[in-house]
Amino acid sequence: MLRSIYDTDHEDFRTSVRAFVRNAIEPHDERFAHEGRLDRELWRAAGALGLLGLCVAEEYGGMGVDDYRFNAVMDEELTRAGLAYACALGIHTHVVSQYLTKRTTEEQRQRWLPGFCSGDIVTAVGMSEPAGGSDLAGLQTRATLDGDQWVVNGSKIFITNGASADLIVTAVRTEPTTGRDGISLIAVDGNSPGLHRGKLLHKVGQHQGDTAELFFDEVRVPADNLIGVRGEGFGYMMEHLAQERLASAVCNITHAQHVLEMTRDYVSTRQAFGASIGSLQHIRFRMADLVTEVDIAQSYVDACVDAHVRGELTPIDAAKAKLKTSDLQNEVVDACVQMHGGYGYMQESAVARAWQDARVTKIWAGSNEIMREVIGRSLQLRG
Ligand X SMILES: Cc1cc2nc3c(=O)[nH]c(=O)nc-3n(C[C@H](O)[C@H](O)[C@H](O)COP(=O)(O)OP(=O)(O)OC[C@H]3O[C@@H](n4cnc5c(N)ncnc54)[C@H](O)[C@@H]3O)c2cc1C
Q: Which is nearer to ligand X, 13 or 216 (CB)?
A: 216
Q: Is the dihedral of CA 215, 211, 175, 230 positive or negative?
A: positive
Q: Which is nearer to ligand X, 59 or 369 (CB)?
A: 369
Q: Judged by CB under 6 A, which stretch of 39-47, 127-135, 300-308, 340-348 contacts ligand X?
A: 127-135
Q: Which is nearer to ligand X, 65 or 187 (CB)?
A: 187
Which residue from 131, 133, 121 is spatially nearest to 93, judged by alpha carbons? 121
Q: Which is nearer to ligand X, 163 or 277 (CB)?
A: 163
Q: What share of the chain is helix, strand, coil (3-state, %, to 5)?
A: 55, 15, 30
Which residue from 185, 178, 172, 105 is spatially nearest to 144, judged by alpha carbons? 172
Does the footprint of ligand X cover residue 61 (CB under 6 A)? no
In order of 53, 180, 194, 241, 308, the CA distances from 238 in angstroms are: 22, 11, 29, 5, 16
Four-point Cα dihedral 259, 41, 169, 243, nearest 10 = -30
- Among positions 344-363, residues that touch ligand X (CB under 6 A) are 360, 363
- State which of residues 53, 61, 133, 233 lies at the interface with ligand X (CB under 6 A): 133
Catalytic one of 76, 77, 129, 244? 244
User: What DSSP designation does 6 have?
Assistant: -
Q: Judged by CB under 6 A, which stretch of 124-132, 244-252, 315-323, 324-332 contacts ligand X?
A: 124-132
Beta strands 183-189; 226-227: pairing state? antiparallel
- Among positions 360-379, residues that touch ligand X (CB under 6 A) are 360, 363-364, 366-367, 369-370, 373
Residue 117 C-beta: closest distance to ligand X, Å: 20
- State which of residues 123, 128, 170, 298 lies at the interface with ligand X (CB under 6 A): 128
Residue least distant from ligand X (Cβ): 133
Site string for ligand X, 75-104 (x = CB under 6 A): ----------------x-------------
Q: Which is nearer to ligand X, 280 or 316 (CB)?
A: 316
**What's the CA gap between 355 and 331, in Å, rounded?**
10
Site string for ligand X, 203-232 (x = CB under 6 A): x-------x---------------------
Residue 277 C-beta: closest distance to ligand X, Å: 33
Active site residue 106: no
Residue 272 C-beta: closest distance to ligand X, Å: 37
**What's the CA gap between 236 and 232, in Å, rounded?**
7
Residue 346 C-beta: closest distance to ligand X, Å: 23
Residues in the chain: 383
- Among positions 152-171, residues that touch ligand X (CB under 6 A) are 158-160
Beta strands 167-173; 123-126: pairing state? parallel
Does the footprint of ligand X cover residue 134 (CB under 6 A)? yes
Q: Which is nearer to ligand X, 211 or 298 (CB)?
A: 211
**What's the CA gap between 376 and 319, in Å, rounded?**
11
DSSP 77-144: HHHHH-HHHHHHHHIIIIIIHHHHHHS--HHHHHHHHHHHHHTSS-EEEE--BTTBSS-GGG---EEE
Size of the site for ligand X (CB under 6 A): 22
CB 134 within 8 A of CB 367: yes
Interface ranges with ligand X (CB under 6 A): 91, 124-128, 132-134, 158-160, 203, 211, 360, 363-364, 366-367, 369-370, 373
Residues taking part in catalysis: 244
